[in-house]
Amino acid sequence: MSGEIWIIGDLDEERLRPSSAGVATLARQVADVGGLGVEGIVLGARPAGAAAELAAYVPHVLSVSIGPDDGYLSPTALARALADLVHERGPRYVVVAATPGGKELAGALSASTGWGVLGNAVDIGWDDGPIVHTLVFRDDTRVRSAFTSGHGIVTVQPNITSPIALDAPGLVETLAVADARTGARVRRLELVRGDAPPSVESARVIVAGGAGVGSAEAWTVVEQLAEALHGAVGSSRPPVDRHWVPYSQQVGQTGKTVRPDLYVALGISGEVQHRVGMRMARTVVSVNSDPAAPIGGFADLVAVGDLHEIVPAIIERIRRAEGGAA
């Protein structure tokens, strides 16, 4: 009975996405409390590398290679292969990161197994089954939900658990299954990858700008402070809509959910749509000309004034201190 709880590795091409390590750690802890076995599942055209990565966190990993080794596997193909495995091997619960790929898999698997799905968990407890914690409304209300049968699928918000590797890596079992692409019908015509800007999802420090930054030219002040604090650049929605910064950096309801130690908000009013993406930040500093901006309601420090005067002065002081220390 090695695998009653399955943790599905979420892959970026052939690599394991970093978020899967934290999700695996949480699933392992839940399995310990519930007295169940945990097993990692990695599905792909070439799963071996990612399976080895996941085995750092899970004592047993099933590395499932699907069909001919020729690249793109649609989510439908992955979900079908996973559903077949679920039917054959009979796990009780499936856990996956709440990334775009993880959500696709969870939805399609729910449809083919008839199991319930609870999305965007921020924690998982145990009471004769997983108790899944999610945040609703302004993300300030915590809801605990359970499955009504002994089966279910949970997607877990990336970054809510720090990864803890096992003392010794787990065993990897390999399995080849038939091509699930037949009938899956989605093809990839193009893949364009550039240098990804530092990810806001894994950043310890985020400096984010909002409409109050003013213009594309003025946006450099956000980047400079991020650089001075060794952090990633984040954004509320308006700068993304105005093309000052790519969508990948957007924090909020329709963007990323982040959990940094420090979140510096420059010219961000703090509407609920933004707040839900950054409410888990440990420390929040706001620089805003409007002392009544809603962000004051959930910040630790509010600096009131013109960010174009205050922020360069902060950068200068940080650089001076670092120069003095060097």
Partner 1 sequence: MHIVVLAKAVPNTTGVERFEPDRSLDRVAAEPILNPNDEYALELALRLAEIDPGIMITMLTMGPETSWPGLTKGLAVGAQAGVLVSDPALAGACALSTARVLAAALDGMEYDLVLAGSDTSDGKAGVIGAAVAALLDIPFITHAGELTLRDGAVEGRRTRDDGYEVLAAPLPALVTVTQEVGEMRYPTLRGIMGSRSRMPVALSLDDIGLSAADVGGAVATTLVVDVDPPAPRPPARVVSGDAAEVADEVVRFLVDRRFIP
Per CB under 8 A, contacts with partner 1 among 72-101 are 74-76, 79, 98, 100
Among 145, 166, 169, 280, binds partner 1 (CB under 8 A): 145
**What are the backbone dihedrals phi and psi of residue 141, each rounded to the nearest 5 degrees, phi first?**
-115, 120
Write the burial class of residue 271 (CB in 10 Å: 0-12 exposed, 13-18 middle, 19+ buried).
middle
Q: 69: helix, coil or strand?
A: coil
CA 80 to CA 295: how far, in whole Å?
A: 44
- Which 297-316 positions form the footprint of partner 1 (CB under 8 A)? 297-306, 309-311, 313-314, 316
User: Could you tell me which residues come within 8 angstroms of residue 247 by beta carbon, excluding any fewer than 6 positions away?
Assistant: 240, 255
In the complex, least distance from residue 91 CB atom to partner 1, rounded to whole angstroms? 16
Q: Strands, DSSP E only, in 5-48?
A: 5-8, 11-12, 15-16, 38-44
> How far does CA 214 lie from the centroid of its chain?
29
CA 206 to CA 313: how far, in whole Å?
A: 18
Write the burial class of residue 159 (CB in 10 Å: 0-12 exposed, 13-18 middle, 19+ buried).
buried
Among 27, 105, 122, 266, binds partner 1 (CB under 8 A): 105
- Of the pair 49, 129, the CB lying nearest partner 1 is at 129
- Of the pair 36, 200, the CB lying nearest partner 1 is at 200
In the complex, least distance from residue 174 CB atom to partner 1, rounded to whole angstroms? 27
196 scored as a contact of partner 1 (CB under 8 A) = yes
148 scored as a contact of partner 1 (CB under 8 A) = yes
Pair 263, 232: CB distance under 8 Å: no
Q: Which stretch binds partner 1 (CB under 8 A): 61-69, 170-178, 184-192, 210-218?
A: 184-192
CA 185 to CA 49: how far, in whole Å?
A: 26
Q: Which stretch binds partner 1 (CB under 8 A): 44-52, 137-145, 173-181, 208-216?
A: 137-145
Among 162, 190, 215, 217, binds partner 1 (CB under 8 A): 190
- Of the pair 82, 172, the CB lying nearest partner 1 is at 82
Count, residues near partner 1 per rule CB under 8 A: 94
Among 147, 233, 238, 266, binds partner 1 (CB under 8 A): 147
In the complex, least distance from residue 59 CB atom to partner 1, rounded to whole angstroms? 28
117 scored as a contact of partner 1 (CB under 8 A) = yes
Q: 17: helix, coil or strand?
A: coil
CA 108 to CA 148: how far, in whole Å?
A: 19
108 scored as a contact of partner 1 (CB under 8 A) = yes
Among 27, 106, 160, 213, binds partner 1 (CB under 8 A): 106
Pair 152, 116: CB distance under 8 Å: yes
Among 48, 52, 166, 229, binds partner 1 (CB under 8 A): 229
